[in-house]
């Protein structure tokens, strides 16, 4: 496999951090079945996140997957670079598909025909840059129209396998230690960014790769958002309850240089990503005590959280969970402060997580289906005022017996006083 050492492609202490071949095989089989059900003859997977999901890595290429039952030579990963690494990351000789050099684009349709393909594969139109998808659709036009398969892929990824649940469970263990690092460093005069650095040191040392992946353009996310006092009331471009000032305008969200002061709310929203899988959790801190008013606001948001959990736990619709949670918050008098201050309010109370922070479904209007069994969702009712923000967040998974927390839930206090 070339003149480089594959043994360096490993996790800590030489642990094999590749996606298991059995996991890739299961995903490809489910995808092939879904394509057959949708009457789409095959698909090209090209988005880096989905290449990791189906091919075990994000090498530059296109993975062709035929629909179940179609004759032909089966799935193949056409790779520009690195061919050898793509083969290794897919399981080496046990890879569940062929790995071949990428042909010239103008020859791709003929190469697929030679493999028994007689109709155009679907493309991830909603996930790819327009010009990129258009170029492939044009090159494959002799085979017909390339239909959009984005929704099929996203639907498959909503349901987490036992292996994926294991990755998220480990991520939650690391995340707990991130909160512990914040708890130990907090004091008068420490900055938001210094607290972030303490949490990030834990995350990085455990293998965080440097990016929290987002589905929605043009959103970008910081892994750690720690906002104190009035910084928690500053809006930003990010579609979330809490904006934050950020260190400079290009990074204009999240934590900044503001220093912690006594008796003001400090909202700590930390993400950890383990082998690609996201967990999301928020807790409150304060230097000394908060006012009774802030305590009541936090207690009320915990009540709203329980209302949302109750709906999803019994298999209710995500849109119903939004309606009931929002209505309860409005009855409590928080209409102008729920998930942001008017006019910068976010219209959700929870978002699914997995390989991306903003997966589907969402606890919001229009999502008229339940969180599926195996679905993982961060539930995060929060309030924002000029003087600061407050709330909680945990990542949950829905199983046969209902919702259970992936992250700490009651194992970490809702409010920690330094």
DSSP E strand boundaries for 212-274: 224-228, 266-274
Is the pLDDT score of 218 beyond 80? Answer: no
Closest by Cα among 168, 222, 177, 219 to 198 = 177
Q: How far apart are the C-alpha atoms of 19 and 89, rounded to whole Å? A: 8
Helix (H) or strand (E) run with residue 64 in it: strand 60-66
Residue 5: pLDDT band with limits 50, 70, 90: confident
In this structure, what DSSP letter does residue 360 have? E
Is the pLDDT score of 228 beyond 60? Answer: yes
Phi, psi at 232, each rounded to 5°: -75, -10
Q: How far apart are the C-alpha atoms of 317 and 370, rounded to whole Å? A: 4
Mean pLDDT is lowest, of 264-268, 278-282, 321-325, 408-412, for 408-412
Query: In this predicted structure, what is the pLDDT of residue 1?
Result: 54
Displacement of CA 168 from its chain's centroid (Å) = 11
CATH number for 159-417 (one of 3.90.230.10, 3.40.640.10, 3.40.50.11540, 1.10.3720.10): it is: 3.90.230.10
C-beta separation of 82 from 59 below 8 A: yes
Query: In this predicted structure, what is the pLDDT of residue 271?
Result: 96
**For the chain, percent of residues with pLDDT exceeding 90:** 90
Is the pLDDT score of 291 beyond 60? Answer: yes
Closest by Cα among 12, 18, 19 to 206 = 12
Residue 365: pLDDT band with limits 50, 70, 90: very high
Is the pLDDT score of 341 beyond 70? Answer: yes
Residue 25: pLDDT band with limits 50, 70, 90: very high
Query: In this predicted structure, what is the pLDDT of residue 210?
Result: 84
Q: How far apart are the C-alpha atoms of 25 and 94, rounded to whole Å? A: 10
pTM here is 0.96
Q: What torsion, rounded to 10 degrees, do the Cα atoms 137, 128, 373, 223 define? A: 170
Q: How far apart are the C-alpha atoms of 400 and 272, rounded to whole Å? A: 26
Query: In this predicted structure, what is the pLDDT of residue 257?
Result: 97
What number of other Cβ atoms are within 10 A of residue 8's Cβ?
7
Query: In this predicted structure, what is the pLDDT of residue 2?
Result: 61
The mean pLDDT value for 135-157 works out to: 98
Residue 253: pLDDT band with limits 50, 70, 90: confident
Query: In this predicted structure, what is the pLDDT of residue 219?
Result: 73
What's the fold here for domain 6-157?
A: Creatine Amidinohydrolase; Chain A, domain 1 (3.40.350)
Residue 239: pLDDT band with limits 50, 70, 90: confident
In this structure, what DSSP letter does residue 333 have? T
Residue 38: pLDDT band with limits 50, 70, 90: very high
Q: Exposed, middle or buried by CB within 10 Å (0-12, 13-18, 19+), for 96?
A: buried
| Average pLDDT across the chain, whole number | 96
Closest by Cα among 318, 69, 70, 35 to 153 = 35
Question: What would the pLDDT profile of 158-188 be if each residue is shown by its tens digit?
Answer: 999 999 999 999 999 999 999 999 999 999 9
Q: How far apart are the C-alpha atoms of 81 and 414, rounded to whole Å? A: 47
Q: Three-class SS of residue 40?
A: coil
The mean pLDDT value for 192-219 works out to: 93
Token pair, residue 8, equals: 């360096």
* Residue of higher predicted confidence among 79 and 224: 79
User: What are the structural domain ranges in the chain?
Assistant: 6-157, 159-417
Is the pLDDT score of 230 beyond 70? Answer: yes
**For the chain, percent of residues with pLDDT exceeding 70:** 99
Q: Which residues contact 363 (CB under 8 A, 6 or more apart)?
A: 308, 312, 318, 321, 322, 325, 348, 349, 350, 351, 377, 379
């Amino acid at each position: 496999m070339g003149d480089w050492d594959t043994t360096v492609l490993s996790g800590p202490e030489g642990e094999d951090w590749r996606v298991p071949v059995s996991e890739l095989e299961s995903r490809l089989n489910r995808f092939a079945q879904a394509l057959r059900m949708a009457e789409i003859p095959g698909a090209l997977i090209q988005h880096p996140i989905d290449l990791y999901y189906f091919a075990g890595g994000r090498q530059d290429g296109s993975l062709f997957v035929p629909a179940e039952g179609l004759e032909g030579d089966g799935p193949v990963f056409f790779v520009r670079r690195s061919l050898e690494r793509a083969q290794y990351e897919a399981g080496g000789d046990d890879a569940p598909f062929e790995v071949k050099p990428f042909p010239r684009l103008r020859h791709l349709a003929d190469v697929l025909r030679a493999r028994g393909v007689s109709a155009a594969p679907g493309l991830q139109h909603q996930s790819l840059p327009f010009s990129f998808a258009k170029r492939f659709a044009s090159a494959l036009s002799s085979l017909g129209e390339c239909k959009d398969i984005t929704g099929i892929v996203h639907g498959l990824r909503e349901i987490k396998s036992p292996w994926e649940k294991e990755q998220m469970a480990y991520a939650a263990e690391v995340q707990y230690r991130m909160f512990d690092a914040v708890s130990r460093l907090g004091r008068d005069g420490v900055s938001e960014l210094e607290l972030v650095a303490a949490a990030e040191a834990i995350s990085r040392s455990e293998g965080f790769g440097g990016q929290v992946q987002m589905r929605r353009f043009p959103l970008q996310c910081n892994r750690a958002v720690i906002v104190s006092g009035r910084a928690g009331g500053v809006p930003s471009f990010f579609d979330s309850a809490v904006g934050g000032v950020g260190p400079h305008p290009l990074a204009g969200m999240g934590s900044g240089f503001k220093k912690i002061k006594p008796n003001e709310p400090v909202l700590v929203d930390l993400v950890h990503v383990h082998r690609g899988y996201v967990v999301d959790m928020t807790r409150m801190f304060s230097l000394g005590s908060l006012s009774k008013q802030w305590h009541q606001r936090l207690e009320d948001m915990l009540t709203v959280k329980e209302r949302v959990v109750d709906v999803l736990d019994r298999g209710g619709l995500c849109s119903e969970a939004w309606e009931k949670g929002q209505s309860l918050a409005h009855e409590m008098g928080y209409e102008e402060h729920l998930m942001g201050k008017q006019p910068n309010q976010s219209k959700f109370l929870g978002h699914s997580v997995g390989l991306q922070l903003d997966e589907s479904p969402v606890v919001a209007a229009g999502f008229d289906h339940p969180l599926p069994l195996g679905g993982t969702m961060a539930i995060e009712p929060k309030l924002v005022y000029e003087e600061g923000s407050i709330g909680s967040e945990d990542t949950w998974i829905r199983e046969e017996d209902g919702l259970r927390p992936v992250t700490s839930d009651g194992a970490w206090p809702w409010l920690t006083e330094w």
